[in-house]
Structure 1
Amino acid sequence: MFKLEMRVRDYECDLQGVVNNAVYQNYLEHARHEFLLANEINFPALAKQGIDLMVVRSEIDYKASLRPHDHFYITVEMIKEGRVKVIFLQNIYRADGALMVAAKTYGATVKNGRPVRLVEELASLVAG
């Protein structure tokens, strides 16, 4: 399972002194990109062919709040959902192992704006 370590930056927190809920979307997106890069998915090459992986749905369950300077990590697993979709299963844990966020992000592959079967580069990464 892919794991990315990060730290909360001051400006990511709101007036209550916790990470703003919208920032978690940024954390999750960054982890997905790093997961794909670590698996040598060449998005510029796919984009030149008109192929994109687009987010079509996001589900986030907030369990607890991260605070300024907290160290945390994000896990990423990708599973297949039909012929054109994948689901990124992602969890955010504080460094002590406490679950902060559980998320599912659904992505669909499109070519020139139309749904297409998963390209081999992505299909080879799916867990199911």
Structure 2
Amino acid sequence: MKEYRFQLEFSVRDYECDMQGHVNNAVYLNYLEHSRHQFLKEELGLNFADFVGRGISLVVIRAELDYKRSLQSGDRFMVGVILEKVSPLRYCFIQDIYLLPEKKLVLKARVTGTAVNAQGRPELPEEISAALNAR
């Protein structure tokens, strides 16, 4: 398992599963998004809603997910998060999901994002730039 900058634990809820009893593939995107928002808040001290209030939207422009195994109702799991700078206006979250307590790899993801201002133009907030340059 990699060394992550941030980790968040979850449990699978019944309603997140499909008819075969496995977590629906789209639900994993929710786990990843919640982990990114918590990372911004808990690790970087940034509030996603504050950016929106300033007219800045943090947006996903690409998501790559490699599914390795399925989660089922009641499973405990962890999402690990690493933030990397891609370019002056783009960043990438490296996110992996592991089944607990075994730490078996469930999913590998690369989620690339940027920010746009109220005029729809790319504009990375100083707080995000600083976090990317600090690493």
Alpha-carbon distance in structure 2 between the residues aligned to 1:45 and 1:62: 33
Q: Is the 8 A contact 2:62 2:113 kept in 1?
A: yes
Residue of structure 1 in register with 2:6 after alignment: 2
Q: Which runs of 4+ in 1 moved over 4 A?
A: none
Structure 1 portions without partners, runs of 5+: none
Secondary structure in 1 matching 2:27: helix
Residue of structure 1 in register with 2:129 after alignment: 123
Secondary structure in 2 matching 1:115: coil
Alpha-carbon distance in structure 2 between the residues aligned to 1:36 and 1:89: 14
TM-score normalised by length of structure 2: 0.88
Alpha-carbon distance in structure 2 between the residues aligned to 1:94 and 1:43: 27
Provide Cα deviations, 1:44-69, integer angstroms capped at 9, x if missing partner. 33223221211111100000000110
The one-letter amino acid paired with 2:121 is R
Residue of structure 1 in register with 2:84 after alignment: 79
Residue of structure 1 in register with 2:22 after alignment: 18
Q: Is the 8 A contact 2:37 2:48 kept in 1?
A: no
RMSD: 1.3
Percent of residue pairs identical: 46
TM-score normalised by length of structure 1: 0.93
Structure 2 portions without partners, runs of 5+: none
Matches within 5 A, 1:23-34: 23-34=27-38
Provide Cα deviations, 1:77-106, integer angstroms capped at 9, x if missing partner. 111111111101000000111000000111
